[in-house]
Structure 1
Amino acid sequence: MSILDFLFGGANNSDAIEVLGKEDYKKAITKGKIQLVDVRTAREFAAGHIKGACNIDYFNPSAFKADFAEMKKDKPVYLYCQSGNRSQKAAKKLVGMGFSMIYDLKGGYRTWNY
């Protein structure tokens, strides 16, 4: 790992993470049974979420780790948060946990209008 990777997170910017625009994200999540996760707080989730999503709060580290440990690492995981910031951080954590196909909603739930 280079010093730049260490400082700027290059090692975590894995090929396993792909950011999708809302149209591509919508197409992807409508294809059968998927692992769709809202990483916002329970309060944010209750205020509105994408149909079919489960809620795993990024800010609750023990539950985050335990809940994702129950998920299939070899299947795609679709993440979103309010703006895309937390979901990017969550995606990097998931790479470290062994997930290999992570898709993040560009701009987060605030851009979702379906």
Structure 2
Amino acid sequence: MKHFKFILILILLLSIGCKEKAKYTNITMIGGEEMKTLLKNEEVQLVDVRTVKEFNENYIEGAENIVFDDNFDQKLKGLQKDKPVIVYCRSGRRSAKCADILAEKGFKKIYDLKGGITQWKKEGNKIKN
């Protein structure tokens, strides 16, 4: 019985300690509907972090292409830190990394489009070609 209690307590402690917490509180994952609302109702900076080639194939209207590469943080100088930023990529991996960089650089409110432009198109939203 002592071993059972010990194991149970150990499992509880490990489960409490292993919960992943958000790295930054100023990054919010959003879906397509939320993004459309933000684009209509707020003055936001929409940033596509895909390659120039990907951007030239299609993009979300109003997006600025800032390619995620080794010099990404240097390219952020044209953005306003106090103005909300929405980032997106193809599927969400690059934009998640970019959102972290934006937070590290002091941007106040960052939105990351869940599923990227792939999900955006899948939901039937408009893109520019």
Normalised TM-score (structure 1) = 0.83
Counterpart code for 2:63: A
DSSP 3-state at the match of 1:91? helix
Write the deviation string for residues 36-56 of structure 1: whole angstroms up to 9, x where unpaired: 000000001011000000000
DSSP 3-state at the match of 1:30? helix
Pair member with larger Rg: 2
Normalised TM-score (structure 2) = 0.74
Bigger RCO of structures 1 and 2 (CA < 8 A, at least 6 apart): 1
**2:76 aligned with 1:79:** no
After the TM superposition, which of the residue ranges 64-73 and 103-112 deviates more from structure 2? Answer: 64-73
**2:32 aligned with 1:55:** no
Distance in structure 2 (CA, Å) of the matches to 1:30 and 1:43? 27
Match of 2:78 in 1: 70
Match of 2:46 in 1: 36
Deviation (angstroms), 1:100 = 1.6
Distance in structure 2 (CA, Å) of the matches to 1:65 and 1:106? 22
Q: CA RMSD in A?
A: 1.7
Match of 1:22 in 2: 32
Write the deviation string for residues 24-83 of structure 1: whole angstroms up to 9, x where unpaired: 111111235421000000001011000000000112x22x22321221101100100000
DSSP 3-state at the match of 1:100? coil
**2:101 aligned with 1:93:** yes
Moved over 4 A (4+): none
- Whether the aligned pair in 1 keeps the contact of 2:48 and 2:67 (CA below 8 Å) is yes
